[in-house]
Amino acid sequence: MSEDSWAFAVDVQEAKTPSIKFDFSKRVSRLGGQLTAREDINGNILGEKNENGGFRNDGDTADLAEQSLLNKLIRRSLVRNRNQVEVLQRDPTSPLYSVKTFEELRLKPELLKGVYNMGFNRPSRIQENALPMMLAQPPQNLIAQSQSGTGKTAAFSLAMLSHVNPANKWTQCLCISPTYELALQIGKVIEQMGQFYPDVKLAYAIRGNKMERGKNLQEQIVIGTPGTVLDWCTKAIETRASASIDFLPRTARCSFFSATFEDSVWNFAEKVVPDPNIIKLKREEETLDTIKQFYVLCKEKEDKFTALCNLYGSLTIAQAMIFCHTRKMAAWLTAQLTKEGHQVALLSGEMTVEQRAAVIDRFRNGKEKVLVTTNVCSRGIDVEQVSLVVNFDLPVGMDGNADNETYLHRIGRTGRFGRRGFAVNMVDSKHSMDIINQIEMHFNRRITKLDTDNVDEMEKLNA
Ligand SMILES: Nc1ncnc2c1ncn2[C@@H]1O[C@H](COP(=O)(O)OP(=O)(O)OP(=O)(O)O)[C@@H](O)[C@H]1O
């Protein structure tokens, strides 16, 4: 890397809008006479009433009619969401609020074009605050916290793109992501933002991508996971006479982003980021108001499954992510949901990273509406249409206590950039009730009890 280099250590990220497809749930036929159209909790209209007063099922939806309705829905959904975001960006209490425009952040014209092309109108709070620090001269370092889905990835992607000099054919920025999937996701954001900046090239230091010994990388930005990045660094420096384990120049700027900073992460960040500027949230600011949190009392897994079906029968859900503790439970739940007619994808730890990336891609493109997963996907995955996150099993640490960090990352898969979302926790024992209480105390936020058998109560949630 050159003398004026950047390194980013991150643990959270982005992606793209899946196509909106219809999800005609059982609840709709139950309530068919009362509604003229179904909307999901983001206000996306998901279906129209048929001639019998009920909602059409997938089976009786003609392709053409579906396509034309789909186009209409996508347009309406985009308008609604844009309005929602605009309101939040003018609300000083929202993490999306900013006083500045992208122009005032002095981005290069090529990048401004990229940002507007992605549909961004204004920066979010973290973008407004972090970008000037990351672009400052002389260089400054940064440790930054911002809620899930509030634009951290976009912030450091813009910073990297602003920093590179495309005329220089060597690596100038290094972005380290904790997982293969996130590295790909961040890479896509950088590619999209930098699409009008054609001479900037990106290399992926991820499993499967080998680097030849002694090769001089020409790509200005390298994004990868720690193991492969280290392997590439070792191979790059082995051939140089002045081989040194100090791969990064001392003058390199360094930024570290996360939605959560438990003590060990904070200590680590302070070790690897010298003399940093700090953007930190208060504990009660870490959860988003736009994500409504509930728990449901259940007895055993069959009972949890019934509660889940009731949720599906009552809420209008665009896409959902369901977290289980073990692969066995995830496989069982996937089979049950598939039997019920849901389009379900299963993501678990024994899959290869390529298989996992393919599953996430299909989900992102709306091919499946439900993603059942063990913990592999709790961080950073950005699928805009996820309106429900279910903790089928609650996140528990090795010590048997609540894993608050994982909880926050999991529920943050919904409520992306101002959208509304539901997080529902299945409580099946005194221990899991204790976990809910611990999580409530930790974030100082109420998690409300929900009776999924109570049709009226459930109906109110859609309001
Ligand atoms: N200024 C903006 N205007 C509109 N949309 C934005 C803006 N910045 C980011 N987004 C969109 O918001 C979503 C969330 O952004 P991003 O993935 O950067 O959040 P994040 O803070 O990194 O999330 P996480 O903490 O889950 O990793 C993405 O779909 C992204 O395209």
Q: How far apart are CA 159 and CA 145, in angstroms?
A: 16
- Token pair recorded at residue 459: 């109906």
Confidence label for 215 from pLDDT (cuts 50, 70 and 90): confident
- Quick: pLDDT tens for 432-444: 999 999 999 999 9
Going by alpha carbons, the residue nearest to atom 14 of ligand 1 is 149
How close is the Cα of 368 to the center of ligand 1, in Å? 22
290 burial level (CB within 10 Å; 0-12, 13-18, 19+): buried
Dmax over CA atoms of the chain, in Å, equals 79
- Closest ligand 1 atom to Cα of 102: 1
In Å, how far are 209, 224, 230, 339, 358 from 354, measured between CA atoms?
A: 12, 14, 20, 27, 6
What H or E segment, with its residue span, contains residue 406?
Answer: helix 404-411
Query: Averaged over 295-300, what is the pLDDT?
Result: 94
Among 53-62, 138-147, 366-375, the range scoring the smallest mean pLDDT is 53-62
pLDDT at 78: 54
How close is the Cα of 239 to the center of ligand 1, in Å? 40
Confidence label for 463 from pLDDT (cuts 50, 70 and 90): low
Tokens 């993501």 correspond to what residue? 347
pLDDT at 324: 96
Find the residues whose C-beta lies inside 6 A of ligand 1: 12-14, 120, 123-124, 127, 146, 148-154, 259, 380, 382, 384, 412, 416-417
Confidence label for 174 from pLDDT (cuts 50, 70 and 90): very high
Q: How far apart are CA 395 and CA 443, in angstroms?
A: 15
Percentage of the chain beyond pLDDT 70 is 79
pLDDT at 317: 86
pLDDT at 8: 61
Query: Chain-wide mean pLDDT for the chain?
Result: 82
- The more confident residue out of 109 and 19 is 109
- Closest ligand 1 atom to Cα of 16: 29
- Closest ligand 1 atom to Cα of 384: 29
How close is the Cα of 126 to the center of ligand 1, in Å? 10
How close is the Cα of 14 to the center of ligand 1, in Å? 6
Q: How far apart are CA 269 and CA 330, in angstroms?
A: 33
- Quick: pLDDT tens for 43-101: 344 444 333 333 333 433 445 555 555 555 555 555 566 677 788 888 888 898 887 89
Q: Is the peptide bond before 138 cis (omega within 30 degrees of 0)?
A: yes
How close is the Cα of 12 to the center of ligand 1, in Å? 10
HSE-CB of 159 using CA atoms within 13 angstroms: 34
Going by alpha carbons, the residue nearest to atom 2 of ligand 1 is 120
Shortest CA distance to 4 belongs to which of 152, 165, 154, 142? 165
Rg (alpha carbons) of the chain, rounded to whole number: 23
Query: Averaged over 240-262, what is the pLDDT?
Result: 76
- Do 277 and 131 meet the contact criterion of CB atoms below 8 Å apart? no
Q: How far apart are CA 425 and CA 323, in angstroms?
A: 10
What H or E segment, with its residue span, contains residue 85?
Answer: helix 63-89
- Quick: pLDDT tens for 3-16: 445 666 554 332 22
β-bridge pairing 45-48 and 37-39: antiparallel
pLDDT at 114: 96
Which residue type occupies 113?
K
Backbone phi, psi, residue 221, to 5°: -125, 135
Helix ranges (DSSP H) in 118-262: 125-135, 152-163, 180-193, 226-238
- Quick: pLDDT tens for 372-429: 999 777 788 899 999 999 999 999 999 999 999 999 999 999 999 999 899 999 999 9
- Closest ligand 1 atom to Cα of 380: 27
The reported pTM is 0.81
Query: Averaged over 98-125, what is the pLDDT?
Result: 93
pLDDT at 15: 27
- Token pair recorded at residue 17: 């809008």
Q: How far apart are CA 98 and CA 102, in angstroms?
A: 10
Question: For a pocket test of ligand 1, which of 161, 382, 385, 409 has the largest count of ligand atoms closer than 8 A to its C-beta?
Answer: 382
Among 56-65, 206-215, 255-264, 302-311, the range scoring the smallest mean pLDDT is 56-65
**228 pLDDT exceeds 60?**
yes
* Chain centroid, CA 202 distance in Å: 22
How close is the Cα of 409 to the center of ligand 1, in Å? 14
- Quick: pLDDT tens for 276-291: 999 999 998 999 999 9
- The more confident residue out of 140 and 216 is 140
- Do 130 and 155 meet the contact criterion of CB atoms below 8 Å apart? yes
- Quick: pLDDT tens for 422-433: 999 999 999 999
Residues 6+ positions from 392 with CB-CB distance below 8 Å: 304, 308, 322, 323, 324, 329, 333, 372, 426
Question: For a pocket test of ligand 1, which of 10, 84, 153 has the largest count of ligand atoms closer than 8 A to its C-beta?
Answer: 153
